[in-house]
Amino acid sequence: MTNTATTAAEKPRVAFYWCAGCGGCEEAVVDLAEQILDVVAAVDIVFWPVALDFKRPGVEAMADGSLAAAFINGAIRTSEQLEMARLLRTKSRVVVAFGACAQLGGIPGLANLWDRNSIFQTVYREAPSTANPDGVTPQTSQPVDGETLELPSFADTVRALDQVIEVDYYLPGCPPTAKLIGEAVHALLSGNLPPRGTVLAPDRALCEECPRKDSKPQDLALNAFKRPHELILDRQTCLLAQGVLCLGPATRAGCEARCVQGNMPCSGCFGPTSRVKDFGGKALSGIASLVGSTDEQEIIRILDQIPDPVGTLYRYSLPSSLLQRRRIGAKSA
């Protein structure tokens, strides 16, 4: 990925933007290490608020379609994120949903178990660490020194990026690996792009690239699910075979099984393969097939050992799932 002969004016112009996420995806760009020098040599980064002092009016002034690509990480929660996603869509020929939050809604999407009012009530009034005697909650408009300060609104529902704008490609992961980012940038620069809508990672289950795959039994009949801290895990044996809930069978490959290599189970951040619509549903169906009992009470006892089922099965994908959110009253704005 080199392009040293081009001048800055000739380079493809790209943007990076951070919506509702933790910042880890921005770190992942920095994790390109020396590869980032190739990226900087090959493209002209014209908008990257976390690293460079460009402002929104600068983007608004750009011609429509003048950006080769916008890499947008994070889910969509606020009106500002929605406006920026739409603006970057207009200015960009290619939009990449960068990371699990943008692709699937991600961990911030678990907030779809609540709504704006219940979140504000907990965070600004009830949390033990909150000191807020006047019960002030975020407002979208505030008078300051004779002027009115307008602030972004906070939606009831967290959305994945493709639920608010058209997305051309998806880079999975929490965050995506440097290898996948490098390959995606290379594909963009070379014009050697797969069909629109492609997830830029192998379309097979993680188990197929896992170094422990040979120890994964064909048939498992578990009568208990263990959490990693409850036992000393063998470093060579399939984690499912050890009774630990590893979501590798339901999860797209491409991360090189980094969590498993760290002796931790896969938690599903690469999302599903193209053959699966609902990651949590697929994972649940896989788990159900592992339960070693046909007795209803025993099945309930075994499954009860999975803590926080929604947080386990839909950790990265609740907004993009068939469920999307918990219904609270009639609202889901």
210 burial (CB, 10 Å; 0-12 / 13-18 / 19+) is buried
Token representation of residue 240 = 């499912």
Using Cβ positions, the residue closest to ligand SF4 within the complex turns out to be 248
Question: CB 42 → ligand SF4: shortest distance, Å?
Answer: 23
Question: CB 102 → ligand SF4: shortest distance, Å?
Answer: 7
Question: CB 183 → ligand SF4: shortest distance, Å?
Answer: 18
Where in 165-204 is the site for ligand SF4 (CB under 6 A)?
A: 174-175
d(CA 149, CA 141) in angstroms, rounded, equals 6
Q: Which is nearer to ligand SF4, 145 or 308 (CB)?
A: 308
DSSP state of 156: E
Where in 65-124 is the site for ligand SF4 (CB under 6 A)?
A: 73-74, 99-101, 106-107
d(CA 187, CA 303) in angstroms, rounded, equals 43
d(CA 142, CA 323) in angstroms, rounded, equals 36
Question: CB 82 → ligand SF4: shortest distance, Å?
Answer: 17
Residue closest to 102 by CA, chosen among 69, 83, 74, 76: 74
Where in 247-276 is the site for ligand SF4 (CB under 6 A)?
A: 248-249, 257, 260, 266
Question: CB 211 → ligand SF4: shortest distance, Å?
Answer: 8
210 touching ligand SF4, by CB under 6 A:
yes
Residue with tokens 């609202």: 331
DSSP secondary structure, 220-260, as one string? --BS--B-GGGS---SSS-TGGGTB---GGGSBS-STTHHH
Question: CB 20 → ligand SF4: shortest distance, Å?
Answer: 8
Residue 192 near residue 182, CB atoms below 8 Å: no
Token representation of residue 156 = 């009831």
d(CA 306, CA 226) in angstroms, rounded, equals 8
What is the size of the binding site for ligand SF4 (CB under 6 A)?
28
207 touching ligand SF4, by CB under 6 A:
yes
Where in 216-235 is the site for ligand SF4 (CB under 6 A)?
A: 216
Part in contact with ligand SF4 (CB under 6 A); list of ranges 17-25, 46-54, 134-142, 182-190: 17-25
Helix and strand totals (H; E) in the chain: 11, 9
Where does this chain bind ligand SF4 (CB under 6 A)? 21-22, 24-25, 73-74, 99-101, 106-107, 174-175, 206-207, 210, 212-213, 216, 238-240, 246, 248-249, 257, 260, 266
